[in-house]
A and B are shown apart, each in its own frame.
Chain A
């Protein structure tokens, strides 16, 4: 009660203070009246501003030289200003060279701006609690802009980032819409699989990046928590990587931070934008498998070789099944087309002081699998910005709401292993569309589509809202507060009708219900102070965070419904079973600060610090400090460079060092507690409690160089980093006599991630209405477990090795085919006639050796072409070479001496089992992929004027169009198994209209 009271008081005090500020601001706003320039002797001047390709430029500032007023172009590049005939207009826009134009009595002036590449460095970059620029940043921040994301037919915006950022690895969760991708920023830091998620922040509100639980086909990866965001409503995504950028996020910054900023209202006039695209997606990959004749031939030889007589039990495919039947199971399962459609509508408007944006979208995508299933998403967003006339009070409001419904076949068996069914296997369905049980059952098998009539429907809702209030008390001294609220709900119903199952087992109509909720609020009051003393510029920030997260999960099962139609209607279930519910709370409080100093825009120092308190840690270890220092030196500002090296237009050296933490360890882990038993009405202890555990610490070091050549037509960024994550929180291994096998504790184990990131942007051509720019990013990462005391005795003894990366496979040494038996052999290293982990001496690094992307952007008159190639160097696994067993295999086994010749015996099976755990199945899974290709055409202004449109664009977009790889599995991106499906190939076409 005491706590509650204090907290309540705090909130009330805070709200009162903010209310006071608002009133103060309003009063001041009224008092200050803007002096309008005298209009005498002036005439209106109108025109448009375009770039050299004729594209209209909105938001360009036009000032009348030596007079204190001006205007901006509207959404279509139109302006109108009053000026004297002798005046000069100063036209400025970020990214373009400034121009001065004498009016000379003209009343219509169309202005063409030339791009200024070097000024792109002045574009603001979101660093979370503050902003910086490409030129001045001391930390490592990568940025992806709206235009690279908005046309990609993906559900979660994270998927749209693939290949676009150095140091960021994203692997698609699978082929079903809504599956969570995994994102890793600068490698694997934690020994715990679930301790490697980055921090997601949407418009200042932290969102849990842990995938949402599901019982559906999404369960392998979980549901992506960003699904409900509209990718077309994202202004930019910044990824913070090094200590300088992440230390201000303290105990949550260890794995990097993903900042998502949604679009704001537009200051320059009113506009309506509509965009729609539609297209199809398919599974791009296929494996080269045997046909019926080849398959049966291989099977017969196998039985011959083993001297085993084929019978109904061991060779139903030879004895029982039709020998001429052929089904291409790959086409059957993966041959489908999924339609994708997206429609976006936004309305934006405003002026210098107040602007707004209202948006909505609809997205739908089918699945490639058999059956009629789809994913639908609706989103709505509101943004409101207000700046008081005296420029002192500022309000930014952003609300994003999204809801989706994911209908999928509710059958966990419907996985890609179905493509390995014998090619002469019986039909799945009878003619009356019921499942074919008889023919499969005759072979002692259950129909592989068992459960096909099951369905899951996952319905999620997500609200993310944030208000940022800021008031400038004195010149340079601001009081800000960010208030955020996020609410995520997911409800899932899994229906299991009896007709999905073999009638002879007397199945019942059942349902599974799962709902999860994640609610959080956050208040972050902040004080900032900027002051310039001649050449010395200082920026101070002091802030605090109060955050509470509430997560709920409940699940139960309804069983034995009287009829299929009633499934899900709990009152008609015979019983409700397995009801489970949990509610967890997470509280977090912190103080953070930043001091940014620079001398003459040449020397920069950036100090960040945070003191964190988190409820996830034991009462003895609730608080910790984190901090970093970053420094930069713009060498090209020095006279000796300016005078001697003219081709070097920009040069910056920067470095940072600091510590961040990782608190992703689940809630309440320190409690000595009892939980409900699986059996009814019981309580029991489920783990040992350690009240002392605490966060993992990640110390990050970075050194980097940024160079610009030929007036910044060529920009090169090189970053070297070394992150060491220690105090690893792992299950400390214990003998069972203590009751359990481990207890969560911090071990002095250390994981190191180091690497090199290269970013190169070039403007290759820029003349005669033609421009071509390229972007290259390459990352060479290196992951290593430096130290793990008593690894041998821990539960990780057969997972990790000191001195090697975390992501490894421990394998037998493949020893070729036995000359006599022609079976695979592996080496028994210690000659003890047993094969166990002591014989697994081959340590295979499964990490990417390097990866990156090359994007190109070409434009010619009204045409725009963008394409991105993604490349990865890595190894993958291919296991479908077990010729002779009752599964289809790669056709390469037919005429290749590398493979065991078709054995169906016990020994043959054993040698297959062993060889799968050897280096043998590994192969090069590197690939080069045309990740995205986008072609657009803008209708010319002549046509537009006639139909009264401001802009009209037609576009074609392709995703994962083409891949070159030596890998023989389905998708080299997910090469950890040959049967994993990754991204779909999509081709879409669309239209954008602006009114």
Chain B
């Protein structure tokens, strides 16, 4: 009996130790290389790092990195400026031929990376807005930047795909079955994000780095937004504000300096610092330049009939276009560095620059019948390209002709930058006429890319665009 008692006592002691300690024994502090979301947003330093994370990821994510699956490459191929050197890359060929199949992997890359960025910005916005610890002014600076990136991403999604799901939270349970939201509502959201950001942000670049979003960056995108939504007065007003900042921004006379890091022409750039830490060239430089020794890597060329459109003395032809003999191909040479491991980083990937603002204002003015104003803006671009001024050549140019000239200058100025040509063709209604000529397989439904097939399998609420 004594033995049983003893056993009982011991058991009781042992069990009580366990019940006391078991829960605690498996409690963990988070690991040193991860931070719990709430903790990230309790402290200014880590919030800043999360903001830097957004900028870094813009250089990593496909849609924005300027590489193989970027909007710059793929939307570029959809239009008439560039084409594939090798026809064996089926996926990129589909973009060139405007025959994108719903299971096209590059198309999925754009979509998935853009929505990944939407998640990152949503997570960031939820984080700072739920945080009680942060200073209000600091919060505003952060909020504005994240809202801008979200609006920027939606801007491309809606322009490439039409109606897309509007995701503004991080809860996958709620979002996994989202429907497509009408384009107009997405535009409302973009505008409200931009307007709020414009109020919140300061005018300076943080540390003078033009990779950081400030009030002017917002205005530059808003100017484009109003141009696309045909609010000409607003477009003129906002681009005018940018152009007026002549201490901060100017068109550079040496075209070889335009795409340098923090060049005076840059309104917003993405830095290769977000890459792997070793390579410091831009992806555009690496992917578009045909290096004489490593020409077997070459993937993208400029279309010859586009190159032929340049006057022989056009500085853009002389400075921004290269030629490789072994491939007998012209190539994009806006970025000069093919491969680099050097610091400080010499070139940043350009997203928004002053030349576009002149072209926006020219178009907005032309649409409002202020042809002289439009000509004077356009001539600033022509003059920098080393061309004769329109004011001298043809001061009485008609509105439609002038608009054609503006579009031509947009094409020559902004080629191989963020799919400008593709979006211009779409919004001006010129795509059918231009691309029908170029491409026998053209159909008007090709204006919208297909919603990726796997996405529709996983979320049956997503409808497909017409023609796919």
Contacts and interface: CB of A to CB of B under 8 A. Distances in A.
A and B interact physically: yes
Looking at A577, A682, A741, the one whose CB has the most chain B CB atoms below 10 A away is: A682
Nearest to B172: A738
B373 interface: no
A966 interface: no
A629 to B, nearest CB: 22
A667 interface: yes
B11 to A, nearest CB: 7
A682 B34 contact: no
Interface string A666-686: 011001111111111111110
A559 B459 CA distance: 46
Contacts of B57: 677, 679, 682, 684
A750 B150 CA distance: 41
Contacts of B49: 681-683
A7 B56 CA distance: 41
Contact of B30 (A623, A671, A685): A671
Interface stretch (B16-24, B317-325, B410-418): B16-24
Interface in A587-636: 587-589, 591, 613-615, 622-623
A684 B40 CA distance: 10
Contacts of B59: 679
Nearest to B56: A679
B36 interface: yes
Contact of A3 (B27, B34, B56): B27
Contacts of A737: 115, 118, 165, 167, 175-176, 178, 455, 459
A496 to B, nearest CB: 13
Interface in A631-674: 667-668, 671-674
Contacts of A504: 293
A6 B20 contact: yes
Interface stretch (B222-230, B273-281, B421-429): B273-281
A733 B455 CA distance: 10
B32 interface: yes
A674 B122 CA distance: 14
B395 interface: no
Contacts of A685: 37, 119-120, 123
Q: Is the interface of B mostly helix, strand, loop or mixed?
A: helix
B393 interface: no
A549 to B, nearest CB: 11
A371 interface: no
B439 interface: no
B1 interface: no
Given A542-B11, A583-B33, A677-B57, A739 B273 contact: no
A585 interface: yes
A86 interface: no
Given A674-B37, A680-B56, A685-B120, A739 B115 contact: yes
B18 A544 contact: yes
Contact of B116 (A473, A587, A676, A740): A740
Question: Considering residues A525, A559, A613, which has the most beta carbons from chain B within 10 angstroms of its beta carbon?
Answer: A613
A587 B29 CA distance: 11
A370 interface: no
Majority-rule SS of A interface residues? strand
Nearest to A685: B123
A51 to B, nearest CB: 44
Contact of A740 (B15, B23, B119): B119
Given A474-B3, A738-B175, A585 B120 contact: no
Contacts of A101: none
Interface centre among B26, B46, B293 (most CB of A within 10 A): B26
B53 A613 contact: no
B26 A587 contact: yes
Q: How large is the interface on B (under 10, 10 to 19, 20 to 34, 35 or more residues)?
A: 35 or more
Given A525-B14, A527-B10, A673 B462 contact: no
B275 A678 contact: yes
A589 B25 contact: yes
A589 B458 contact: no
Given A673-B35, A736-B112, A680 B22 contact: no
Contacts of A675: 33-35
Given A527-B10, A682-B274, A674 B53 contact: yes
Contact of B457 (A474, A542, A739, A793): A793
A583 B30 CA distance: 9
B278 A577 contact: yes
Interface string A231-271: 00000000000000000000000000000000000000000
A674 to B, nearest CB: 5
A10 B21 contact: yes
A582 B31 contact: yes
A474, A583, A683: which has the most chain B beta carbons within 10 Å? A683
Given A589-B26, A735-B462, A741-B112, A673 B37 contact: yes
Contacts of A13: 17
A940 interface: no
A734 B20 CA distance: 40
Contacts of A667: 28, 31
Nearest to A540: B7
A899 interface: no
A772 interface: no
Interface string B51-82: 01111110110000000000000000000000
B111 interface: yes
Contacts of A679: 52-53, 55-57, 59-60, 273-275, 277
A981 B341 CA distance: 38
Interface in A441-464: 444
A10 B462 CA distance: 56
A297 interface: no
Contacts of A672: 36-37
B31 A678 contact: no
B459 A735 contact: yes
A683 B57 CA distance: 9
Interface in A808-848: none
Contact of B277 (A546, A578, A615): A578
Interface in A519-559: 525, 527, 529, 542, 544, 546, 557, 559
Nearest to A614: B26
A739 B36 contact: no
Nearest to A510: B278
Nearest to A588: B26
Contacts of B189: none
A129 to B, nearest CB: 15
Contacts of B119: 685, 738-740
B37 A583 contact: no
Interface in B274-305: 274-278, 293, 296
A618 to B, nearest CB: 11
B33 to A, nearest CB: 4
B126 to A, nearest CB: 11
B50 interface: yes
A587 B27 contact: yes
Given A680-B56, A736-B115, A737-B115, A673 B296 contact: no
A735 B458 contact: yes
6 shortest interchain CB distances as A-B pairs? A739-B119, A679-B56, A679-B274, A682-B53, A589-B25, A684-B53
Given A583-B32, A677-B274, 19 more contacts: A3-B27, A7-B25, A474-B6, A504-B293, A527-B7, A542-B14, A615-B26, A672-B37, A673-B35, A674-B50, A678-B277, A679-B55, A682-B54, A682-B274, A683-B49, A683-B53, A688-B172, A738-B167, A793-B457
21 contacts: A542-B14, A544-B18, A581-B33, A622-B26, A667-B31, A668-B31, A673-B36, A674-B34, A674-B35, A674-B36, A678-B275, A679-B275, A683-B52, A684-B53, A684-B54, A684-B57, A685-B120, A736-B116, A738-B172, A739-B119, A740-B119
Interface of B: 3, 6-7, 10-11, 14-15, 17-18, 20-37, 40, 46, 49-50, 52-57, 59-60, 108, 111-112, 115-116, 118-120, 122-123, 165, 167, 170, 172, 175-176, 178, 273-278, 293, 296, 341, 343, 452, 454-455, 457-459, 462
